[in-house]
Every structure is written in structure tokens, then in C-alpha cells.
Amino acid sequence: MKCKVCGSESGKYPLCRSCNIKKESGAIIKCNKCGNWHYASDDCVRESAKTDNDSYLYDVRNILISKSEQNFYQAIKFALPEGHYVFPQINLATFIERTDDARFHNELFRNVDFLVTNDKYRPLFIIEINDQTHYNSERKERDEKVRKICEEAGIPILKLWTSYGANEEYIKKRIDDILSSFPVPRVHHFSQANEETPQTEVAAPNNTNNTNPIYTGPVSTNSRSYKRKGCYVATCVYGSYDCPPVWTLRRYRDNTLAKTWYGRAFIRTYYAISPMIVKWFGNTNWFKALLEKPLNSFVNKLQNNGVENTPYDDVAW
């Protein structure tokens, strides 16, 4: 079930954990006029239309995007260079098409949070706003499918996390980074028969001068700059190089492991073998499931010991 206010996963409950906390404080209410859950400060826009509502099969949502998404939308608009536009809640089928004769295109009927285009309305990249629900196995499976489709089409994904908030300076840096990475390589994930295939082209954007590379999928083991800084296994498990758990692990690598000779030896060994491991097993569910629990435990331990999970620029060491 989706949260009635913000749209996040809420299990069997009408409100997610975050919105339920706001309900306890009175910020969110179940309106006596319209019967909907919404912020107490919001106007009841459906009061006149709720009469005899049960007789209708379809109804209009109160808002297109949640309060959190509205904050990110404003920050994204501020961060975009002139001549670029952002559109919220866009279906993949709106800007991606299949090249075969398949009758059904069900895999494209998935929404992404935002699509960015140039002034000719050519799709450039998408932006996904992630919260803790994206760690759920079902949601991770959906995100992985979207990632593969977008990589095949040549559309990068920029992931932003609600835990950090709509920080305009950070969002502008991420957008500038992704725009400077064009043209991005396309990656084969599917055959014409709609079956997933081994990747025949695996490459990363040129991040030689980028201290915070954007990870949108498996990377080439020939990329020397990325090999020095990447967190291959963690990125594979969590689905992004820029997310709270990987930020924590990157800090631990640079601020703890890299300070000792044996720590640096471990890092060099890790970078020597992890790209091949991810290449072999990175697209398998059992590999991610096997590592997810111990990685989560280790990340939680680091965070409890004071290692932050906020956005992080890699240290050159």
C-alpha cells in the first residue's frame, strides 16, 4: 500500500512511518470534510466532490507530488542551467520506446520522479528521490529494472535521498556532474526477445576530473580513476554510489582504512578483485541478498560509532 499523503510504501497501513509521526503531532489529519489524509494546513480541495463518492470507480488524487517531492522540485529547478526543464511524475513510456515488435510494453509503465530535458525537450536524465523504502527487496527489484532499461536507452539516473533533504548546493553539483558526463555509453541488458542478456558493453562516464563520480551501473575495470575511488560491491548491493550507506563506507575507507599500511593493502586487494566479482555476480539476486545483511550490520555499527551518512566527496589518497 502507498502512503495516502506522501506516496511512499506504507505496508498495510494508510500512512508511512514518517507521516504517522506527523499525524501524532497533529501536522497530518484525516479530514472530516473530505475523508482524506492530508496536512492540517492544506485546504480541503475535494469537499464538494466527495458526496456520494463511493459510486465512482475513479477519483482524482489530491496532489500530483508529495510535499517532499515539491521541495526537491523547487531545488532542481533552481539548480538546472538555463535551457533545461524538469517534469515531475513521468512514465518511462513517455520518453523510452521499445525497438522490437513486442505487443505489450508493460515494463515501461513505471513512473520516475523527475525527467530533465534540454530546450528542445530531448530527454537527458532522470532524477529519483529515494527514502528508506528503496531498501525493501520489492522496491529494489523495481529500481533495478528501471536502471537496466534506462542504461540500455542511454538515460542516466541521478538519485537523491530524502534523508539529506533538498540541499540546493548539493543538487546543483550533482546535476553539473551528470551534465558534464555526456555523452554517456549505452549498456546492453536485453535481447530483442525481451530476455535479459549478459552485458556486452560495460563502461563508465569519464570521471577523471570528477571527485564524486556518478554511478549508474557496472563500470569498466579499465577505468583507473574509478577503480581508485569506487565501492564496487557496496554500490552493487545498494544500487547507487551516492546513497547514505555507501557514503558511510567511503568515509570509513578514507578516514580509517587508508590511514594504516594494512588498511591500504586491503583497499588495493579489494579493488583488484571486486570489479571482477561484480561483473560475474552483480546482476544476480542471490549475490545481493547474501551481502546485504552483513553490509547493513557493518554500516549500522559504523554509524553508531559516529561515521556520518551524509553526502561525501572522496579523498585523494
Contact by Cβ (8 Å): 41, 7: no
> Model's pTM, two decimal places?
0.57
User: Domain limits at 102?
Assistant: 66-200
How confident is the model over 99-147, as pLDDT tens digits?
Answer: 887 776 788 888 999 999 999 999 999 999 988 777 777 778 888 889 9
Q: How is 16-27 classified by DSSP, letter by letter?
A: -HHHHHHHHTTS
What is the rounded distance in angstroms from the CA atom of residue 315 to the CA atom of residue 317? 6
**pLDDT at 296 (0 to 100):** 87
Same domain? For 214 and 167 the reply is no
Give the cell for residue 213: 563520480
Task: For residue 309, give the C-alpha cell.
Answer: 551518512
Pair (45, 150) in one structural domain: no
170 and 47 in a single domain? The answer is: no
Summarize pLDDT for 29-78 with one digit per residue, the tens.
Answer: 888 777 788 888 877 755 444 455 557 788 887 788 888 889 999 999 99
207 & 262 share domain:
yes
Question: What is the number of structural domains in the chain?
Answer: 3
38 and 75 housed in the same domain: no
Query: Are 58 and 75 a contacting pair, CB within 8 Å?
Result: no
- Reported as a single tens digit per residue, the pLDDT across 147-162 is 999 999 999 999 998 8
Give the Cα-Cα-Cα angle 183, 184, 189 (nearest 5 degrees): 145
Same domain, 245 and 152: no
Angle, alpha carbons 61-62-64 (nearest 5°): 75
56 or 84, which is more confident?
84
**DSSP string over 122-191:** -EEEEEEEE-GGGGSHHHHHHHHHHHHHHHHHT--EEEEETTT---HHHHHHHHHHHHHTPSPPP---B-
Which residues face 81 on adjacent strands?
none
What are the backbone dihedrals phi and psi of residue 164, each rounded to the nearest 5 degrees, phi first?
A: -95, -20
Q: What is the pLDDT at residue 192?
A: 61
Are residues 282 and 304 both part of a single domain? yes
